Amino acid sequence: MPRVVTTVAEWRSLRATHRAAGRSIGFVPTMGALHAGHASLFQAARRDNAVVLASLFVNPTQFDQENDFEHYPRTWGRDEELMDAAGVDVVFAPQVDEMYPNGTRYAVTENEVSNELEGAHRPGHFTGMLTVVLKLLQIAGAERAYFGEKDWQQLQLVRGLAKAFFIPTEIIVCPTVRETDGLAMSSRNARLSPAERALAPKFNAALVGAATPAAARTQLEATGFAVDYVEDREGRRLGAVRLRQTRLIDNVAR
């Protein structure tokens, strides 16, 4: 099983040992509830680096609704087994006080990309995400960090963050991993009822098949989805929908 560290000091001491031995480090940040999409990130990090570090931290500051944070799935035992099978060497699993020793006095904000799409529907989400990602990248001190393409807007913001704050870690993009029926893998899929799970693949089908964003929205609403947005940006079609209490996001190349 991977070695588990819970404090910054413990990881820094271990990192110094790896550095002294000339070992490269690949880092994958996660909030747990892992699936095959995460496994693909771990495997990419394993391919490129001598040491694979994963973080497992459910970050409270990026949830715009307390209920969503409370019900976010936490599956430590299964996560540990998946990380072991995918070649993770070390798991950084801090408590909230370790990551936020000053509470929320300090935060990272972005004033353009974060105000639209996800940002318009989830106030404060990207500030929480960017703040914790900056912390994690600084803590990890890795040569490379791996992010999935499913969270396309988040990916653009993380790339911008690394550039703006002169973080030397290379941001590696990995493709979205999908179920056989086209549904993008997500930790939130576990919250879908059987009927909702049967309907969910129509989200990706509409993004791929509709001629325009407006046509995709009409198709999704007629099928039973509540649509937050469907928009074309920079060669991609992005969408966010809800099936009762579960929110799904996806994007496809256009």
Catalytic positions: 38
* CA gap 155, 162 in Å, rounded: 11
Q: How far apart are the first and last CA of the chain?
A: 41
CA gap 227, 5 in Å, rounded:
40
Please spell the DSSP secondary structure of 199-242, one letter per residue: HTHHHHHHHHH-SSHHHHHHHHHHHTPEEEEEEEETTEEEEEEE
Per DSSP, 244 falls in state: T
DSSP string, 86-143: HT--EEE---HHHH-TTTTS-----SSGGGSTHHHHSTTHHHHHHHHHHHHHHHH--S
DSSP-derived pairing of the beta strands 236-243 and 226-233 = antiparallel
Helix axes 213-223, 201-209, angle to 10 degrees: 150
How many angstroms separate the CA atoms of 211 and 7, rounded?
A: 50
With beta carbons less than 8 A apart as the criterion, state whether 56 and 30 touch.
yes
Amino acid at 51: V
